[in-house]
Amino acid sequence: MTIAPCVLCAEPGGELIWRDQRARIVWIHDAQHPAYMRVIWNQHVKEMSDLSLPDRAYLMDLVFRLEQVLRATLQPAKVNLASLGNMVPHLHWHVIPRFTDDPHFPQSSFGEALRDSIHRIENPDAFKRALIEEFK
Ligand SMILES: [Zn+2]
């Protein structure tokens, strides 16, 4: 029996926006949530408590900086932060800007869609430039 390789060890996991030795930020281009991002720890660890205290702080600082860029550029109704990893047990944070007209609002974006509407990014190029500018 072969063990399936971890997808986040094998692949970036989205469009790579920024990366350093410890972590990376990727843009998922999710069909229902176009500005859905992830912050992924590069090394394969399962839980936040597997990290040293400085590494935990480093990872959360990236999550919060990303949240601030999303707030400044997209003015979402809410930003959802989630670390689940039940399907892919490789430490990563979902950073999901939420809009009142997105398919799931006000429910979790991981559940059943409530409507067909998609909240599109008005200017994806400017959005990407803002992300790259923050993390360069
Ligand atoms: Zn992995």
pLDDT for 6-33, tens place per residue? 999 999 999 999 999 999 999 999 999 9
Angle, CA of 124, 128 and 131, to the nearest 5°: 140
pLDDT recorded at residue 1: 58
Q: Residue 39: which H helix or E strand, with range?
A: strand 37-41
Query: With contact defined as beta carbons under 8 Å apart, do 64 and 122 qualify?
Result: no
User: Do 10 and 16 touch, CB atoms closer than 8 A?
Assistant: no
Say how many Å lie between the CA of residue 7 and the centre of ligand 1: 6
Burial of 18 (0-12, 13-18, 19+ CB in 10 A): middle
Residue 18 Cα, ligand 1 centroid: separation in angstroms? 18
Between residues 87 and 44, the one the model is more confident about: 44
The single residue listed with the structure tokens 């430490």 is: 91
Cα-to-centroid distance, 85 and ligand 1 (Å): 10
From the CB of residue 20, how many other CB atoms can be counted at a distance below 10 Å?
11
Residue 133, SS3?
A: helix
Q: How far apart are CA 91 and CA 21, in angstroms?
A: 15
CA of 21 to the centre of ligand 1 (A): 15
Q: Is 96 a residue whose pLDDT tops 80?
A: yes
CA of 38 to the centre of ligand 1 (A): 14
pLDDT, average across residues 100-107: 96
Contacts of 16 (CB under 8 A, 6+ apart): 24, 25, 26
pLDDT above 90 for 46: yes
Taking the centre of ligand 1 as the mean of its atom positions, its distance from the CA of residue 36, in whole angstroms, is 20
